[in-house]
Structures are given as structure tokens and as C-alpha cells.
Amino acid sequence: MVQKLTSTQTELTPEQEALCDEVVREYIDDLPVARPVDLTKVKVWLDIVYAMYGLETPRIDVVQSPEAACERASSLTGQAQTELDWVGVGDGGWISFYDYFERVKVLTHDENADVQALKDYGRVAWDSILLDECAIVVARPIALKVDEAGNLHSATGPCIEWGDGERDFAWHGTWMPERAITAPRTYTREEYLAITNTEERRALGEIAGWDWIVELLGSTTIDTWCDPNTGLNYELSRCANDGPTLLRKQSPPLKDGSQPWYSEPVHENLLTAQAARKWQATSLSPEECEREPALQFDVES
Amino acid sequence: MQVFARQGDLIIQHTTIEATEKLTPGADILLAGGSSGHPHTLQGACKYKRNNDGSTLLRLDATRTLEHGRADGHKSVMMPPGDYEIRQLRVRMGGGDSNVED
């Protein structure tokens, strides 16, 4: 039995610390579990939500994927709907927070009742689009894969498979196009350079291999630099055929200790990796950064 | 050149906010990463103004924590009271400069 958390405590007891980990694991382990929609539990939550707006819960339509929910909402409202309400499984982060405080008796069950209703909803449904005349409820997927940290992830196929055949792909929590996961080395040079999202570019580098990316781009390293204050490495390269100039750089250690590499296009007039690092962080010209490339952060994370 | 902090793509720089700037009170404001599901969020109360270039002016009356909303993401940054300018790293795309997209 975990001891009650009191207002005089300045640190958690070992048991209370262990319970934090236990609650996190419980929520992450529940993510891949497929369950049919339980309309009784769904209605408990919807009654709470609609009552907040002084409304009765309308008819409930169950659909099998977020795409199907958006299509149904667009059809009912006559307006393009592209987003869910983001209420359901995605709230696990903060629901688990309140759940923990009930377990250490800071909150009573009654005080936490609405949050528990949302937790129960998320166990039997994915999310919703709530309209005045219709509550569109998305069923949980039939398959879902995560990495050890709980990020959506599959290195070989979809990370989510929905009941109507829709599929989603992700690499350690970064949404990816299907081809980046299933056939990463079919990307052309132009397709790679057209990627604007730095996390997607980084993930594709990890999936296809950075050496393969270098070969694809025909890039040549023109300068490298290691920051003596942080030990972080930087590499400036020029792509063949008047292609872009890229700064490949090492992340500071993340919370799990990993240090992923990122590759970002920088100004073509830059000549050194150190100056390119400064150019990214300031509004100075390439020439100004080359003249005085020193830049130090008090904190770099 | 000395700059206060970097958290991933975000640069956090001390500044002095002019008295003419209209700051809005807020709490737990999102500074970047909302669309990717990996938000950089300033925990607690602040006053702020979002600029057209994507940067944010920030005034803190007490120490606040900048958190990255991902279990294995960037470590938190403690920000003492003061004025700050927050902006994203710059990249070169299509012959022009823009903010890093994540």
C-alpha cells in the first residue's frame, strides 16, 4: 500500500517514486490493446462533456478511423473537417497524472470522477468529433505498435492499423509517409531535398542510413567542427550539381541519453561548420558569421 | 557571442522588451512543436507577444521551466525572471530563409 502524499513532503518516498513508474508503464502497456467500443462507458463520458455546454448527448455514430470521422463530420456539417477533438487515448499523459494523485490519496475518487470517466472512455474508444446533433466516436485501432518509450513506432510497417483498413506510419514518434518506412531507399535526391520537416528528414536519415543519404545527394564534406564546450559535432557539406549546403549536427543528449543527428539546409555562402551553426541561431549574414563564428549557450539541451 | 539557451530548435535569448510592446498574460504557452505533437511548452504564468516572424517576446516574473513534451525529448530549461526573445533556428529553403519546421 503506497503511503498518502502529504503537503509537508518535499520529496517522494521510494514507494511513491516506484508508483510513478508503474502508472506510466500501465498506460503505455495499454496503448496496443485493441478493444471494441463500449457504448455504456462512451455515454458516461459524452454525458459529462455535453452537459458542460447545457446539451443532451445526441446520437452516437461509431467509425473505424480518424479519416472516417473527418469524412463523416464533413458530410454532416458541409464544412471540411480535418482534425479530431483530441480527447481520448491521446490524453493519457495528463489523465495518468491525475490518476497518480488519486492513488496517493491527494484526490478522492469523487474529486477525480470526471477524469476517471475520460480514462474509461479512452480504454474503449480512440477519440471523437463532437457535433451538436451527432457524437462521432472513433474506435480504437486493431493494431498499434510503440517503442520502449511509448512513442508510436514500427520499423517494418504501419504503427497503427484501423478497423477500416486505414494505416499510419511513424518512426519513434515522428509521423512518416509509408514509403519512408517500407521502401526508404527508393527516395530520389529531389524527393529527399523537398522534405521540409526536420524531424522527418532526420528519421529518414536514420531509416535509410546517413551514408546512403550522402551517396544519394552526392554531397562532399567541406568542413567539420567539434564544439570544445559541449563535445557536439558539426559537419558542413555541399551537394553535387549546385545542390544545397547542409549542416549535419549532433543533438545534445536527450532525456534518454541518445544524441540523434539532424541535417538542415543552410546558406550557400557559408564556408565553415562553426559559422553555419551561428547562422542558424542568429539573424546575422553568412559573412558576419564567418568573420566571428564564436557562439556559446549557457544551456544547450 | 553569448546566448542564454537552446532547446532543440528553439533559441532563448535575454532581451529588453520595450515599454511600447503590448504583452498578453498567459499560462502554459506553446512556443513551438504543436503540430508535431512534440510541444515546447513554458510551464506557468508569463506575459508574452507573438511576432509576425514566428518569434515570441516573453516576460517572466518568476523562474519558469521550458519543457519538451516528449518522454525521450530535450531536457527541460529553467528560465529565471526576466525578458526573453524566443525564436526557432533558421534554415535555407528555395533560395530564402525560414524557420526550422518540426
**Do A31 and A131 lie in a common domain?**
yes
Q: Is the pLDDT of residue B64 over 70?
A: yes
Residue A8 is assigned to a structural domain of this protein: no
Residue A3: what pLDDT? 83
Residue A48 is assigned to a structural domain of this protein: yes
Contacts of A199 in chain B (CB under 8 A): 36, 38, 102
Shortest alpha-carbon distance between residue B51 and chain A (Å): 15
Q: pLDDT for B2-27, tens place per residue? A: 999 999 999 999 999 999 999 999 99
Dig out the grid coordinates for A138 from the structure: 472513433
The partner residue sitting opposite A264, judged by closest CB among B37, B78, B100, is: B100
**Do A109 and A224 lie in a common domain?**
no
DSSP A172-204: TTEE--HHHHH-GGG--HHHHHT--BHHHHHHH
**Do A47 and A135 lie in a common domain?**
yes
Residue A197 is assigned to a structural domain of this protein: no
Residue B38: what pLDDT? 79
Chains A and B form CB pairs within 8 A to the count of 105
**Do A21 and A133 lie in a common domain?**
yes
Contact between A265 and A195 (Cβ < 8 Å): no
Of A124, A140, A156, the last residue of a domain is A140
Q: Which helix (H) or strand (E) holds A207?
A: helix A198-208
Mean pLDDT calculated for residue range B33-38: 72
Residue A194 is assigned to a structural domain of this protein: no
Dig out the grid coordinates for A147 from the structure: 517503442
- Which position has the higher pLDDT, B37 or A55? A55
Pairing, β B40-50 against β B56-60: antiparallel
Q: Which residue of B has its CA nearest to A201?
A: B102
Of A77, A111, A140, the last residue of a domain is A140
Residue A86: what pLDDT? 86
Q: Is the pLDDT of residue B55 over 70?
A: yes
Range of the domain at A110: 14-140
ipTM value for the complex: 0.95
Residue A66 is assigned to a structural domain of this protein: yes
Q: Count structural domains, chain A.
A: 2
Residue A62: what pLDDT? 98
Residue A190 is assigned to a structural domain of this protein: no
A243 in contact with B, Cβ within 8 Å = no
Of A78, A107, A140, the last residue of a domain is A140
Q: Is the pLDDT of residue B35 over 70?
A: no
Residue A211 is assigned to a structural domain of this protein: no
In angstroms, rounded to a whole number, what is the distance separating the alpha carbons of residues B74 and A77? 40
Residue A172 is assigned to a structural domain of this protein: no
Contact between B58 and B83 (Cβ < 8 Å): yes
Dig out the grid coordinates for A247 from the structure: 549542416
Residues with Cβ within 8 Å of B15's Cβ and at least 6 positions away in sequence, in order, are B57, B83, B84, B85
Task: Give the pLDDT of chain A (301 residues) as one tens digit per residue.
Answer: 788 888 888 899 999 999 999 999 999 899 999 999 999 999 999 999 999 999 999 999 999 999 999 999 999 999 999 999 988 998 888 899 999 999 999 999 999 999 999 999 999 999 999 999 999 999 999 999 999 888 899 999 999 999 999 999 999 989 999 999 999 999 999 999 999 999 999 999 999 999 999 999 999 999 999 999 999 999 999 999 888 999 999 999 999 899 999 999 999 999 999 999 999 999 999 999 999 999 999 999 9
Mean pLDDT calculated for residue range B49-66: 96
pTM of the model: 0.82
